[in-house]
Amino acid sequence: MQQHYLIGKQVGNFRIIGILGQGGMADVFLGEHIPSGTQVAIKVLRQHLTGDQREINAFKMEAMRISYLQHSNIVRVIEYGYTPDGNLYIVMEKAEGSLTKFRGQLLHPQTAIHYILQIATALQYAHSQHITHRDLKPDNVLIDQHGTIKLSDFGIAVVSMSINVRTQEIAGTPPYMSPEQFQGHARSASDQYALGIITYELLCGERPFFADNFLGYGYQHTQVIPPNIKSKLPNMPNDIAIVIMRTLEKKIEDRFPSIMDYANTLIAAYKASLQGTTLSPSELYSQKQRREYQKTTEEVLKHIRSGDNLYDMKRYEGAVFEYDAALLLDPQQLEVYKKKGNALSKLHRDEEAIETLDIALRIEPNDAELYNTRGTVLSRMDKYEEALQSYYASLYINPNSLEAHIGRGDMLYELERFEEALQALDTAISINQYRHDIHASRGITLYKLQRFHEAMQACDIALRIFPNDFNAYKYKAFILQEMTRYDEAIDALKKALEIDDTNALIHFHMGNILTKCKLYQDALDAFNRAITFDPNFAKAYHNKAVVLSKLDRRKQAYEAHQKARELDPSLYSGIKGTIVNQLFKWLSKA
């Protein structure tokens, strides 16, 4: 490749030693100060433009403006003049790179804000000197070796000494140009718009708009609503997204009053997100936006209240409808997703409930309560392993979540990991020893571990805390039955039936114990009651058949057996099942 003819030449007190970059208007060279060897950047107007007076004037204006703007975040002009062959040049302090080095990356908000604040500070200073940059883009935001921003390329900057709108030539880089800039009316708010796009790009790795040409960008910037940054980054705190999207409003008056107002509000939103708080609408929105926000908020609250009332009335379909209406107006309402998930769960629309809760978790992935609710729904779907993982996720966020420890214990129990289940329940009791349901669950877990006396003690503690604990009586009956203390087991089941006499399972267990006591008629009555409350209870029909055979009512026994077989053929699978089938068939003919 042929070396540029200026390499090795001297301009002023500097020697050109290499090339850093080339643009449409100028080439940028690496230079060094002859006496000291200090490296600099030397910008030279391209040779074919030296006869274009407009380009010459723009180049001179850039040199004059930057030399006039004395700010730590604006690149410093050291000198400017003409090369030996008559080309204009500007000598500036050298930076190591630009924001383009982050293109395609997703910066951490703290890092991005560090750069945004410096850019905003430089631009606020320029604006105070009545200068609008008009070509803010990552290429023009330089970074020195210390990580300090150096704003450059004020070549097409416009000086605005009046608030009167004046038509200018359309200039800038289309992906970063504001709507008014496409119409030739650049203002300081145009730089805010461009900085908003840079912020958007730094945080999510892409710009809000893409087009093939100038007209395509012009249409999108002036007519199309940019995609909310939360659609790219669902986990982004809502306030930060609102702040960024406000800079991209089509109308100047809907953006922040100044570029520093934007930077300061962005910092405040970030700090609030770290503290788990939010900014007020007056901080986040313009006056017009606040009016719209208030109207929308009132509508959202109206739908939420209506949904809550319907939920309390157990009209869950209507509640889901109202919550959907609220979310249509404000898709970031985390609490509404929770409410909708609970309503869907009540309707046993569990798959939809999980989808709803997963949306909420994309908005707020650090909500332990959401994971607990998700675990509850999954457990009802018999997806115990998935439910367990949800409870573990909750505990990762909040190690002292009582509901997560209880849920973890219940799932480990269902997975027959009884020792681990007991540990989880013991942890829950250490957090709250007055929850009767935890002691009852501990009782049935100890029962599974065949630690019957401890299991009895746990159930008795549950009943001392809450004398109407249905499960505690049920579990106590199971334990007493295992200990062959049948009379006490029957008494425990009677207590459970005083609380809920429509529970088919309790009547079924009552029938089992009465059968062991050879009280066959009483057992038959219990199995009949179980079938009354659950007509599809196959095991109840089977046990009824056994009791009827004991009462020598063989035909009825065979009919009950056939019904059980019809409801659940798996009861009679294998060799044992074949023998039982033959036995009942023989009894019916005997």
Q: Tokens in use for 226?
A: 């940019």
Nearest to 372 by CA among 397, 350, 354, 391: 391
Under CATH, to which class is 504-590 assigned? mainly alpha
- Please give the average pLDDT of every successive group of 10 residues along the chain, which has 590 residues: 75 87 77 87 71 64 68 84 79 85 91 93 88 87 87 59 42 86 87 96 94 91 91 88 93 91 92 85 72 75 92 92 87 84 89 89 84 92 94 94 95 96 96 94 95 95 94 94 93 94 93 93 94 93 90 87 86 58 55
How confident is the model at residue 153, as a pLDDT?
77
DSSP letter string, 84-95: TTS-EEEEEE--
CA distances from 308 to 304, 320, 326, 347, 359 (A): 6, 10, 12, 15, 20
How confident is the model at residue 162, as a pLDDT?
35
How confident is the model at residue 119, as a pLDDT?
94
How confident is the model at residue 437, as a pLDDT?
94
Q: Name the catalytic one among 52, 85, 135, 460.
A: 135
Fold match, 286-362 / 504-590:
yes
d(CA 73, CA 118): 6
* Fold assignment, 97-284: Transferase(Phosphotransferase); domain 1 (1.10.510)
Is 426 a residue of the active site? no
Q: What's this model's pTM, rounded to 2 decimal places? A: 0.53
How confident is the model at residue 163, as a pLDDT?
33
CATH number 1.25.40.10 given to 286-362: yes
**Domain residues of the chain, as ranges?**
10-93, 97-284, 286-362, 504-590
How confident is the model at residue 451, as a pLDDT?
95
Q: Write down the CATH superfamily of domain 10-93.
A: Phosphorylase Kinase; domain 1 (3.30.200.20)
Query: Residues 31, 43: contact at Cβ < 8 Å?
Result: no
